[in-house]
Amino acid sequence: MNIYFSEKFEKKLLEIERTNPKLNRKIKKTIKLFSVDPSYPSLRLHKIQISHNYSISVDMSMRIIVHWRKNDALFLNIGSHNEVY
């Protein structure tokens, strides 16, 4: 699978890396897991409305929004449920 990051996602990821290294490791693990097996249960992958956007869970409080089609995934946003929806 081809993984891409939006500018917004990269900025938020850098901020998290600086402020919360433990969470940053979880995020990187989640991204790797998604690239290998998007249907892995702990990701809690689900489609958002009528689009090609999906939500995956890093943990119970952190979500990643992904635009996903065939073999390409663009990571759009990361944050709490209220921040990304």
pLDDT in tens, 3-62: 999 999 999 999 999 999 999 999 999 999 999 999 999 999 999 987 789 999 999 999
Compute and round to an integer the Cα radius of gyration of the chain. Answer: 12
Binned at pLDDT 50, 70 and 90, residue 69 comes out as: confident
Q: What pLDDT sits at residue 78?
A: 96
pLDDT digits (tens, 9 = 90+) for 74-85: 999 999 988 888
Q: How many residues does the chain have?
A: 85
Torsions phi, psi for 45 (to 5 deg): -65, 130
